[in-house]
């Protein structure tokens, strides 16, 4: 019936938005948990850190891996944000329209979308700063180095905001992914949706509690630890030959 | 239904505007109506028209929640007025016409015109191979479960609630809305319609179609016929994506 | 003055109107459809239960065919129907449903193997044939011998109308929405279109056409409680009546549906009882078997409605502040069945009564439901007296239903009649007779008259309030021209309506003076017209001193074939008269395929016509003779009452059925 070829771009962009979102979200669920290793002990956090630096694979640390990881995440981050830009109300008029709509409707899922836009917007700045630091100072990660950054370099307040936004954004995003693509629908879609929504709220709560606890611990260490020795952590169990 | 219960006096604020009157401008007007048992907005509005203001415009046809004529915003949410019991609302509430559609006056909007445009644009009819049907012969068979599934989506009454409840539609006037997407899902399911997946992609595989939908789910939550819109839009999205692989 | 020319003007965008329009387009002519509302919102959408067509696919429909459908229809009509029309109808119903299936209606289908059903309050297992799997299935409906009512869950009318409207869109049928025909343009006994009012802008438009079709539906809203949509106000019948030339048939034949919810009068489909639901009284007692041991809840509608009323009169009704009612119990069907096949019913119960029909009983009582009467036409659909005016669907009386319509025969009628009328009109258009000969100045005259009438309504002072008149009319009809009628009440009704008719000439539109969208103005002119329609009903009922089908006179309980086997014809030749002119049209027994008999409900009170016995002998003789030589049922039928020549050629062929004619 048709002669022309269909334009596949919209489908691909939509998929890419979701796919990048999914990767970022999965990354963050891991990230916050790894980081929370500080809650167990300084030693634990150190082990996690060097694990990422490849110590357990190569027998020595390569902070460049972190740089590389941060760069990769940054790329995904940029792609994701870039595509997301298309969804963000392009003009003030449209912003007003959608804002009035959501206020008038008092409708949860529409409001959730607004949360996505706002948190996304916030992360655009804060996330970039954080990623840049991680890329440029990959070796300054560890129980003491991180704590020092949180307290002495005043990253604490930024992390606090970033935490709140990223956790909300990630789990709302995952819930919305499930709705958008009809993931694990089951027979009664109303029931599965209610379940996903509950899960989303539960996860947000858990992750915020865990994240805030770690942040508190970093702050505590940052305030109480004596940094006269430098920010490097000296492990009792693992001896680094190369350093 | 106790007789002794004191009836409430409802305070109904209505957004009024007559576009045919050059001196008129949109304004709220509040009417007081004594509530009765089992009162619906259909009854309440007719009472206002008959006893308070005979120029009040609104649309009811079946008054039974079947035809989709009477959609309006009740406290900001689109719904069918005829089947909204006043008992489920507070003493004070507001009514406003459905946004996005051409206003005829007060609560009356021209959803029919919008829907006609949509139907024509998406060609919401069975596309078969032009051959003349022999009506004397046995009908073509269809799996019973499939027929049920098609009917499930065929239940849409074109009330426009899903469009009025959708933020995307508000920002993009060309967006086909959940009603349009649901229709495509319905025809795609129907073996009698011979359109290919590419044909459907052409119709809604873009920002005015399924990829414009931002999964706000207002549609799903306001649809008076409880159509599985979320699930069907998701299905279309998957199908359209698969088509590009 | 805005004038729009077209080949065919179709007033009404319901199933009937759209089917006509599509057919005419198919034959290469132009058509414009006018409708008060977007076509998909027409009242046809409300039909829940189903459409009758003798497909005989499902187990309980086995053995069904045109003959059975025909005899059910004639019995249902209490022999008031035109038997040739009924034959044409039953012959074409299977064709119409197959066409609709092709156009996209997702008819519910037969599933092979066992399924459970409730019959007469007992669970039974029905085994469907293998070869029927996937064909259109059917359910039981009142007054039918076989399960013949095809359906899509309980949204039959909705899915039919949507498919029909979509088809019309595909055929590029022009539809002008929110345009109301307010008078017909006619001259020298021929109709040339209509004057219509744009309900949004108030503009008057003259539609000038070679043929005009009235498919405006019923007139239920002359009653205060009705299952009908609020736009079913009989405007089509009224403007035909106001020509003074066109006639209406059997207007007093009004059907009451047994199960509308109390108080709002919204219908719960006959499918509820068809699928096994029961009627109970205040003691939870199932009373229908006492009255109708044979058919019980599934007796014909008029019968069930009367039995329910009788039972309530015995004090067995449930008292409520809205008057007495009875219970409809569908809990025995089980939640799954209700949620799948009676979903609209469930929604209605939840939204309007706040109950769950899977556990609660539904409060119901008989309520005005269907108008058997309408614009009297020949079997071709053309008015008997006004050339170029056609009518079909509920608006018309070509006389398929006589004095009582069978459930499911009506949506079926709309599409069948639409199909046939479209062909007849197209033939007319193809002939030389159809040329337009009316002068523009005369068209102008008709527009001017309407314009003046509207001005008068808007400028009148110290006039009557249309709402008051209308409410009074509705009450009179409800109280005095209801299920059971009697001479005294009817006389009072006619007198008072006459008075209202007089007062209605003096209606004033208070406050709201806009000529554009103005609900008060609309109500004013419609009230004037509705009162006239109400008068044709009440007056016809008063004069008819017998009980036939839905018309039930307490003072004349017997069906009187000797004096009343005839159609009531009403007209309004003089604008100033206050009651309609009534005449009668004999129904010829000597041409009947099925001579008058006993319908099989209650006691047989029929006063037979002398010719009945004669005709019976003839019919039996023919049957015996032909059966003896082994002629087919088609041959026998043809010998008794040939009708095929009345059908358009393309619809004459024999229908295929499982195990027959394949
Ligand atoms: C609640 C309910 C349930 C029913 N269930 C069944 C069932 O299960 N099975 C069955 O067979 N039958 C059923 N019926 C009956 C059946 O639905 C109707 O008889 C049938 O649909 C009538 O169709 P129609 O096309 O003649 O008219 P409608 O569908 O009523 O259409 C009338 C059209 O005329 C237009 N119109 C009216 N006046 C004017 C005017 N002045 N100018 C311009 N346009 C005008 C309207 O806008 C509308 O488009 C039911 C009826 C009701 C009330
Ligand atoms: C610059 C930073 C970011 C911006 C501006 C941004 C913005 C957005 C926007 C506007 C949406 C669209 C809302 C929607 O349609 O669902 C979205 C979706 C999503 N985002 Fe982000 N986001 C950013 C970072 C992130 C991060 C860091 C994560 C992971 C934790 C993430 C995860 C998701 C997910 C899972 C979705 C849902 C994907 C989809 O709907 O297809 N985003 N984002
Ligand atoms: C590969 C890239 C990343 C690395 C290596 C990384 C590493 C770290 C580290 C080591 C910390 C501890 C504090 C510190 O040392 O400063 C931290 C904290 C944090 N990071 Fe990242 N991060 C990365 C990407 C991201 C991204 C993309 C986000 C979200 C947009 C993010 C959000 C956070 C938050 C919110 C905290 C504070 C956590 C808390 O409150 O417990 N990080 N990150
Ligand atoms: S999908 Fe639902 S809300 Fe939208 S038009 Fe159809 S019935 Fe109305
Ligand atoms: S509300 Fe609108 S954005 Fe999509 S999910 Fe529904 S169409
Ligand atoms: S009037 Fe028909 S749905 Fe409300």
Percent of chain C with pLDDT over 70: 100
Residue B215 C-alpha to ligand 4 middle, in angstroms? 16
A149-A151-A155 Cα angle (round to 5)? 60
Chains sharing 3 or more CB pairs under 8 A with chain C: B
Give yes or no for a contact between C42 and C15, defined as CB atoms under 8 angstroms apart. yes
Atom of ligand 6 nearest to the CA of B159: 3
**Catalytic residue numbers of C, as ranges:** 257, 273
State how far the Cα of A114 lies from the Cα of A168, in Å rounded to an integer. 12
Burial of A202 (0-12, 13-18, 19+ CB in 10 A): exposed
User: Are the Cβ atoms of B214 and A113 closer than 8 angstroms?
Assistant: yes
Find chain C residues with C-beta within 8 A of B151's C-beta: 106, 108, 152-153, 155, 159
Whether residue C192 is predicted with pLDDT greater than 50 in this model: the reply is: yes
Burial of A59 (0-12, 13-18, 19+ CB in 10 A): exposed
Nearest to C388 by CA among C106, C191, C632: C191
Segment A165-190 mean pLDDT? 94
Ligand 5 pocket residue status of B231, Cβ below 6 Å:
no
Find chain A residues with C-beta within 8 A of B207's C-beta: 10, 86
Question: Which residues neighbour C532 within 8 Å (Cβ) at sequence distance 6 or greater?
Answer: C238, C241, C242, C501, C572, C580
Number of domains chain B contains: 2
Segment C44-51 mean pLDDT? 93
| A99 at interface of B, judged by CB pairs closer than 8 A | no
Segment C536-542 mean pLDDT? 98
What is the helix (H) or strand (E) element at residue C183, kind and residue range? strand C179-187
Ligand 6 interacting residues, C-beta cut-off 6 A: B 60-63, 65-70, 80, 82
Segment C456-485 mean pLDDT? 95
Place of tokens 């219509």: C196
Nearest to C632 by CA among C67, C87, C64, C60: C67
Whether residue C547 is predicted with pLDDT greater than 70 in this model: the reply is: yes
Helices (H), B155-228: 161-164, 167-171, 177-189, 197-204, 218-222
Give yes or no for a contact between A16 and A79, defined as CB atoms under 8 angstroms apart. yes
Per-residue pLDDT reduced to its tens digit, B196-218: 999 999 999 999 999 999 999 99
For residue C560, the cross-strand partners are: C607
Rg (CA), chain B: 21
Percent of chain A with pLDDT over 90: 66
Rg (CA), chain C: 24
Ligand at minimal distance from the CA of B219 is: 5
B218 and B170 share a domain?
yes
Asked if the structure places residue B94 within a domain, the reply is: yes
Going by pLDDT thresholds of 50, 70 and 90, the confidence category of residue A240 is low
Per-residue pLDDT reduced to its tens digit, B40-66: 999 999 999 999 999 999 999 999 999
Per-residue pLDDT reduced to its tens digit, B109-138: 999 999 999 999 999 999 987 778 999 999
Asked if the structure places residue A236 within a domain, the reply is: no
Segment A136-161 mean pLDDT? 90
B121 Cα to chain C: minimum distance (Å):
11
Sign of CA dihedral C325, C52, B69, C470: negative
What is the helix (H) or strand (E) element at residue C185, kind and residue range? strand C179-187
Find chain C residues with C-beta within 8 A of B138's C-beta: 98, 135, 656-658, 662
CATH number assigned to the domain comprising residue A140: 1.20.1300.10
Give yes or no for a contact between C661 and C655, defined as CB atoms under 8 angstroms apart. yes
State how far the Cα of A50 lies from the Cα of A135, in Å rounded to an integer. 16
Nearest to C266 by CA among C362, C135, C131, C170: C362
Angle between helices C156-170 and C83-103 (to 10 degrees): 70
Per-residue pLDDT reduced to its tens digit, C121-163: 889 999 999 999 999 999 998 889 999 999 998 899 999 999 9
Distance separating the N- and C-terminal Cα atoms of chain C: 57
B160 and B74 share a domain?
no
A23 Cα to chain B: minimum distance (Å):
19
Distance between alpha carbon B137 and the CA centroid of its chain, in Å?
A: 37
User: Are the Cβ atoms of A182 and B207 closer than 8 angstroms?
Assistant: no
Whether residue B3 is predicted with pLDDT greater than 70 in this model: the reply is: no
B81 and B166 share a domain?
no
Burial of B104 (0-12, 13-18, 19+ CB in 10 A): buried
E strands, chain B, are: 9-16, 27-34, 71-74, 77-80, 92-96, 103-105, 108-109
Name the residue of B161, B185, B232 to mutate for ligand 4: max ligand atoms within 8 A of Cβ: B161
Residue B157 C-alpha to ligand 4 middle, in angstroms? 6
Per-chain mean pLDDT for chain A: 90
In a mutational test of the B interface, the residue from C38, C161, C344, C472 whose CB has the highest number of chain B CBs within 10 Å is C38
State how far the Cα of C120 lies from the Cα of C133, in Å rounded to an integer. 26
B100 and B149 share a domain?
no
| A217 at interface of B, judged by CB pairs closer than 8 A | no
DSSP-assigned letter for residue C76: H
B42 and B100 share a domain?
yes
Going by pLDDT thresholds of 50, 70 and 90, the confidence category of residue C120 is confident
| B126 at interface of C, judged by CB pairs closer than 8 A | yes
Return the pLDDT at B242: 92
Question: Which residues neighbour A26 within 8 Å (Cβ) at sequence distance 6 or greater?
Answer: none
B161 and B207 share a domain?
yes
Asked if the structure places residue B116 within a domain, the reply is: no
State how far the Cα of A177 lies from the Cα of A195, in Å rounded to an integer. 14
Helices then strands, each counted (H, E), chain A: 10, 0
C40 Cα to chain B: minimum distance (Å):
8
Ligand 2 pocket residue status of A164, Cβ below 6 Å:
no
Asked if the structure places residue B2 within a domain, the reply is: no
Asked if the structure places residue A155 within a domain, the reply is: yes
Atom of ligand 5 nearest to the CA of B217: 5
Name the residue of B217, B220, B227 to mutate for ligand 5: max ligand atoms within 8 A of Cβ: B217
Ligand 5 pocket residue status of B213, Cβ below 6 Å:
yes
Rg (CA), chain A: 21
Nearest to C297 by CA among C329, C320, C333: C329
Asked if the structure places residue B237 within a domain, the reply is: yes
Number of C-beta neighbours around residue B127 at 10 A: 16
| B103 at interface of C, judged by CB pairs closer than 8 A | no
Q: Order of strands, edge to edge, in the sheet holding C248-249?
A: C396-397, C374-376, C248-249, C566-571, C581-586
B179 and B88 share a domain?
no
Return the pLDDT at A3: 54
State how far the Cα of C599 lies from the Cα of C593, in Å rounded to an integer. 16
State how far the Cα of B244 lies from the Cα of A15, in Å rounded to an integer. 11
Asked if the structure places residue A3 within a domain, the reply is: no
Three-state DSSP class for C449?
helix
Helices (H), C27-129: 66-76, 83-103
Give yes or no for a contact between C233 and C526, defined as CB atoms under 8 angstroms apart. yes
| C468 at interface of B, judged by CB pairs closer than 8 A | no
Give yes or no for a contact between C136 and C108, defined as CB atoms under 8 angstroms apart. yes
Return the pLDDT at B245: 81
B114 Cα to chain C: minimum distance (Å):
11
What range does the domain containing B160 cover?
123-130+140-244
Give the pTM.
0.94
A94 Cα to chain B: minimum distance (Å):
6
Nearest to B186 by CA among B116, B236, B244: B236
Find chain B residues with C-beta within 8 A of A97's C-beta: 167, 170-171
What range does the domain containing A16 cover?
11-229
Return the pLDDT at C341: 85
Distance between alpha carbon C443 and the CA centroid of its chain, in Å?
A: 32
Atom of ligand 2 nearest to the CA of A128: 1
State how far the Cα of B70 lies from the Cα of B82, in Å rounded to an integer. 6
Return the pLDDT at B1: 43
Name the residue of A162, A207, A214, A222 to mutate for ligand 3: max ligand atoms within 8 A of Cβ: A162
Give yes or no for a contact between C252 and C541, defined as CB atoms under 8 angstroms apart. yes
| B121 at interface of C, judged by CB pairs closer than 8 A | no
Asked if the structure places residue A44 within a domain, the reply is: yes
B196 and B100 share a domain?
no
Residue B240: closest C-alpha in chain A: A11
Which of A124-138, B154-168, C388-402 is the least confident region? A124-138
- In whole angstroms, how far apart are CA C415 and each of A52, C22, C44? 74, 11, 11
Number of C-beta neighbours around residue B35 at 10 A: 17
Nearest to C506 by CA among C533, C476, C527, C536: C527
Going by pLDDT thresholds of 50, 70 and 90, the confidence category of residue A1 is very low
Ligand at minimal distance from the CA of B217 is: 5
Give yes or no for a contact between B155 and B227, defined as CB atoms under 8 angstroms apart. yes
Segment A63-77 mean pLDDT? 92
Return the pLDDT at A2: 52
Going by pLDDT thresholds of 50, 70 and 90, the confidence category of residue A243 is very low
For residue C567, the cross-strand partners are: C585
CATH number assigned to the domain comprising residue B62: 3.10.20.30
Return the pLDDT at A241: 56
Residue B237: closest C-alpha in chain A: A181
B87 and B19 share a domain?
yes
State how far the Cα of A210 lies from the Cα of B82, in Å rounded to an integer. 50
Ligand 5 pocket residue status of B219, Cβ below 6 Å:
yes
Asked if the structure places residue B117 within a domain, the reply is: no
Find chain A residues with C-beta within 8 A of B218's C-beta: 105, 107, 109-110
User: Are the Cβ atoms of B123 and C106 closer than 8 angstroms?
Assistant: no
Nearest to C413 by CA among C374, C443, C452, C440: C374
CATH number assigned to the domain comprising residue B230: 1.10.1060.10
Return the pLDDT at A5: 76
Whether residue B2 is predicted with pLDDT greater than 50 in this model: the reply is: no
Q: Is the peptide bond before C263 cis (omega within 30 degrees of 0)?
A: yes
Asked if the structure places residue B118 within a domain, the reply is: no
Atom of ligand 2 nearest to the CA of A174: 35
| A102 at interface of B, judged by CB pairs closer than 8 A | yes
Asked if the structure places residue B38 within a domain, the reply is: yes
Number of domains chain A contains: 1
Going by pLDDT thresholds of 50, 70 and 90, the confidence category of residue A4 is low
């Amino acid at each position: 019936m048709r002669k022309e070829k269909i334009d596949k771009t919209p489908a691909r962009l939509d998929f890419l938005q979701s796919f990048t979102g999914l990767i970022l979200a999965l990354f963050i669920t891991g990230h916050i948990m790894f980081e929370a290793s500080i809650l167990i002990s300084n030693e634990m956090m150190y082990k996690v850190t060097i694990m990422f630096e490849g110590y357990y694979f190569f027998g020595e640390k390569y902070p460049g891996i972190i740089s590389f990881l941060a760069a990769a995440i940054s790329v995904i981050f940029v792609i994701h944000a870039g595509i997301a830009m298309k969804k963000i109300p392009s003009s003030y008029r449209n912003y007003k329209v959608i804002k009035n709509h959501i206020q008038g409707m008092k409708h949860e899922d529409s409001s959730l979308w607004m949360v996505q836009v706002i948190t996304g917007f916030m992360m655009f700045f804060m996330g970039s700063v954080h990623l840049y630091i991680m890329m440029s100072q990959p070796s300054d990660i560890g129980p003491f180095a991180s704590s020092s950054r949180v307290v002495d370099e005043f990253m604490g307040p930024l992390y606090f905001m970033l935490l709140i936004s990223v956790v909300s954004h990630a789990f709302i995003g995952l819930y919305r992914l499930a709705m958008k693509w009809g993931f694990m629908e089951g027979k009664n879609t109303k029931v599965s949706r209610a379940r996903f929504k509950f899960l989303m709220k539960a996860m947000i709560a858990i992750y915020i509690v865990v994240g805030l606890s770690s942040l508190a611990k970093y702050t505590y260490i940052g305030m109480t630890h004596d940094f006269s020795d430098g920010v490097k952590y000296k492990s009792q169990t693992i001896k680094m030959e190369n350093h | 239904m106790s007789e002794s219960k004191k009836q409430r006096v409802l305070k109904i604020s209505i957004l009024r505007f007559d576009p045919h009157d050059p001196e008129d401008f949109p304004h709220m007007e509040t009417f007081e109506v004594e509530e009765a048992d089992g009162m619906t907005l259909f009854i309440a509005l007719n009472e206002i028209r008959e006893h308070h203001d005979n120029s009040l415009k609104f649309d009811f046809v079946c008054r039974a929640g079947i035809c989709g004529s009477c959609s309006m915003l009740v406290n900001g949410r689109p719904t069918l007025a005829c089947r909204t019991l006043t008992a489920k609302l507070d003493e004070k509430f507001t009514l406003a016409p459905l946004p996005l559609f051409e206003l005829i006056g007060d609560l009356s909007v021209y959803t029919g015109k919008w829907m006609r445009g949509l139907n024509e644009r998406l060609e919401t009819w069975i596309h078969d191979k032009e051959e003349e049907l022999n009506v004397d012969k046995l009908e073509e068979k269809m799996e019973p479960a499939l027929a049920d599934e098609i009917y499930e989506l065929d239940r849409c009454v074109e009330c426009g609630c899903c469009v009025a409840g959708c933020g995307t539609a508000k920002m993009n006037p060309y967006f086909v809305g959940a009603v349009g997407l649901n229709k495509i899902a319905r025809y795609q399911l129907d073996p009698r319609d011979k359109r290919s997946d590419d044909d459907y992609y052409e119709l809604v595989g873009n920002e005015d179609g399924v990829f414009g939908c931002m999964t706000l789910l207002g549609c799903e939550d306001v649809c008076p016929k409880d159509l599985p819109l979320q699930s069907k839009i998701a299905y279309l999205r998957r199908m359209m994506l698969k088509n590009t692989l | 003055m805005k004038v729009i020319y077209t080949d065919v003007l179709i007033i009404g965008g319901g199933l009937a109107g759209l089917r006509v329009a599509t057919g005419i387009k198919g034959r290469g002519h132009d058509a414009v459809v006018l409708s008060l509302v977007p076509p998909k919102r027409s009242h046809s959408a409300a039909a829940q239960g189903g459409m009758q067509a003798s497909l005989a696919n499902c187990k309980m429909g086995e053995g069904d065919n045109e003959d059975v459908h025909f005899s059910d229809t004639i019995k249902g009509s209490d022999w008031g129907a035109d038997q040739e029309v009924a034959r044409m109808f039953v012959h074409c119903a299977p064709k119409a449903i197959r066409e609709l299936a092709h156009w996209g209606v997702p008819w519910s289908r037969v599933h092979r193997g066992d399924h459970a059903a409730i019959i007469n309050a007992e669970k039974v297992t029905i085994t469907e044939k293998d070869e029927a799997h996937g064909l259109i299935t059917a359910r039981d409906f009142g007054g039918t011998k076989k399960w013949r009512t095809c359906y899509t869950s309980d949204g039959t009318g909705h899915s039919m109308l949507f498919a029909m409207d979509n088809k019309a869109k595909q055929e590029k049928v022009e539809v002008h929405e929110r345009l109301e025909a307010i008078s017909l343009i006619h001259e020298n006994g021929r109709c040339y279109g209509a004057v219509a009012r744009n309900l949004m802008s108030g503009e008057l438009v003259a539609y000038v056409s070679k043929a005009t079709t009235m498919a405006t539906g019923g007139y239920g809203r002359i009653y205060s409680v009705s299952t009908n949509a609020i736009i079913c106000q009989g405007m089509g019948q009224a403007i035909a009546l106001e020509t003074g030339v066109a006639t209406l048939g059997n207007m007093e034949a009004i059907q009451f549906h047994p199960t509308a919810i109390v108080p709002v009068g919204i219908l719960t489909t006959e499918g509820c009882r068809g699928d096994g639901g029961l009627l109970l009284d205040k003691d939870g007692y199932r009373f229908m078997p006492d009255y109708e041991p044979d058919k019980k809840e599934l007796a014909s509608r008029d019968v069930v409605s009367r039995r329910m009323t009788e039972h309530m009169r015995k004090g067995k009704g449930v008292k409520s502040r809205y008057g007495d009612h009875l219970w409809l119990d569908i809990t025995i069907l089980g939640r799954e069945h209700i949620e799948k096949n009676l979903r609209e019913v469930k929604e209605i119960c939840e939204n309007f009564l706040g109950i769950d029909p899977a556990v609660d009983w539904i409060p119901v009582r008989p309520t005005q439901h269907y108008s058997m009467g309408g614009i009297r036409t020949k079997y071709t659909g053309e008015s008997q007296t006004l050339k170029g005016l056609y009518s079909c669907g509920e608006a018309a009386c070509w006389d398929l239903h006589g004095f009582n319509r069978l459930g499911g025969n009506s949506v079926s009628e709309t599409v069948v009649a639409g199909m046939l009328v479209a062909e007849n009109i197209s033939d007319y258009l193809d002939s030389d007779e159809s040329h337009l000969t009316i002068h523009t100045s005369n068209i102008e005259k008709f527009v001017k008259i309407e314009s003046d009438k509207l001005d008068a309504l808007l400028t009148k002072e110290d006039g009557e309030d249309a709402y008051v008149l209308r409410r009074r009319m509705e009450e009179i009809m409800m109280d005095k021209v209801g299920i059971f009628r009697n001479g005294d009440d009817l006389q009072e009704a006619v007198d008072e309506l006459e008075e209202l008719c007089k007062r209605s000439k003096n209606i004033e539109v208070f406050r709201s003076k806009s000529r554009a969208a103005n609900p008060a103005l609309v109500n004013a002119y419609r009230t004037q017209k509705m009162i006239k329609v109400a008068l044709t009903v009440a007056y016809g009922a008063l004069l008819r001193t017998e009980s036939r089908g839905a018309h039930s006179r307490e003072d004349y309980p017997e069906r009187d074939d000797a004096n009343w086997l005839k159609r009531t014809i009403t007209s309004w030749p003089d604008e100033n008269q206050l009651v309609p002119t009534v005449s009668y049209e004999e129904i010829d027994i000597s041409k009947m395929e099925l001579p008058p008999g006993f319908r099989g409900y209650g006691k047989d009170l029929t006063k037979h016509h002398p010719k009945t016995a004669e005709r019976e002998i003839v019919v039996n003789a023919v049957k015996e003779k032909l059966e003896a030589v082994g002629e087919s049922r088609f041959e026998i039928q043809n010998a008794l009452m040939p009708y095929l020549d009345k059908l358009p050629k393309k619809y004459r062929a024999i229908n295929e059925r499982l195990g027959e004619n394949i």
